[in-house]
Amino acid sequence: MKIIFHIIGCLFFLSLPVIFSPDFDVSLHLFLLPPFQRNFIVYLLMLVFFYINYYFLVPRFYFTKKYFFYSGIVVIIFFIIILLPDLLFDFHNPHPEPKIFSELSDNMRHSPPSPPHFFKFFGFLNFGPPIVQFLLILILSLILKLNEHLRNTEKLKTIAELSYLKAQINPHFLFNTLNSIYALALDKSDVTATAIVKLSGIMRYIINEANSDFVPLEKEINYIRDYVDLQKFRFENTVNLSFTISGDSSNLFIAPLILIPFVENTFKHGINPEENSTVEINIDIKRNQLFLRTFNRKLSIKSPEDSYKLGLKNTQKRLENLYPIKYQLHITEDDSTYVTQLKIEL
């Protein structure tokens, strides 16, 4: 698409001297006129300057803050564009124009003789349309390159930010999961081996899938299911746990690890074996929309991380970057309960 845009732009620009030529006619005899040929070469050189400035001068000198060198090179190129056509036609057209050219236009036939080459050499001092056109080309190429540079910078910033957020989420989750298996090992539970297998599957998912931009929703749900099963192994019957999944997850994709912080927080901040703990996790899929609802009772004994929002800030940033207008997040809490409701258009 970008190549097509450039081709159309080049053809349009090179058509300007043809369209606005006073000698324009359908037969395009003006291409035989040296004055038009000179003007056309000027446009062609300006087009070449556009791409030199866009791909080389701006990245090499402007972005590196070498403004003096950049300005000097631009001025030199301007003089070359203005003077080179005259020099070329003086070398290649030393004789007067053939009679046929003078018959093509009354204006040209009755025009005064051209000034000597010495005076034409300093014709650039009469800053008319050429410098206006040159400045427009200069400004346009600079603006387009700055816009491209800004978009690339924002893209790299987003990628770096997402990588940082993933790096924060993954160790935090693994730490809690290992604590769960450690608790099973201390109790010499028969499900310790099964828990290790599930942890292995979880780690495989993180290593193989978490670095992707999007993963199949089914894999993400299986990942959450394994996590919830590990928590069941740890707390056994000490928690009133409701975990439901409804809807068809096939042919849908989601950003990896985008749901687990909400699920993880219900266990981290809502379960105490010595209290009446309740956790509800509901995932509902309708067409291309995913609804996640989590509920937990707050602990009477606060953990050092007393803010639920602490673990969700990074996830909210990811949601804003990946689903800027395609998600809704509502968090409600009171003295005893905490509820999150998330809707994502996949």
Q: Is residue 140 part of a domain?
A: no
Taking only the tens of pLDDT, the chain with its 346 residues reads 778 887 888 888 877 777 766 665 555 666 667 777 788 888 888 889 999 999 999 988 888 888 898 999 999 998 888 888 777 765 555 444 444 334 434 443 444 444 444 334 444 433 446 788 888 889 988 998 988 888 888 777 766 666 665 555 556 667 767 887 887 788 787 888 888 888 888 888 877 877 788 899 999 999 999 888 888 877 777 788 899 999 999 899 998 888 988 998 888 777 776 677 889 999 999 989 999 999 988 776 555 554 455 557 778 888 888 898 899 999 998 888 889 999 999 8
Residue 138 in domain: no
Pair 221, 319 in one domain:
yes
Is there a single domain that holds both residue 238 and residue 274? yes
* Whether residues 160 and 264 fall in one domain: yes
Residue 136 located in a structural domain: no
Residues 325, 238 share a domain? yes
Residue 175 sits in the same domain as residue 102: no
Q: Supply the range of the domain harboring residue 264.
A: 152-345
Q: Do both 109 and 173 map to the same domain?
A: no
Domain match, 210 and 333 both: yes
Residue that terminates a domain, selected from 109, 126, 143 = 126
With respect to residue 134, please indicate whether it lies within any of the assigned structural domains. no
Instruction: Determine, yes or no, domain membership for 141.
Output: no
| Within-domain flag for 147 | no
In a shared domain, residues 323 and 193: yes
- Same-domain pairing of 99 and 201: no
> Quick check: is 330 in a domain?
yes
- Report yes or no on 95 lying in a domain: yes
CA 311 centroid distance within chain = 26
158 and 301, same structural domain? yes
- For CA atoms 229, 235, 236, 242, give the dihedral sign: negative
Number of domains in the chain: 2
CATH number at residue 174: 3.30.565.10
Contact present, 254 and 318 (Cβ < 8 Å): no
My answer on whether 82 and 29 are in the same domain is yes
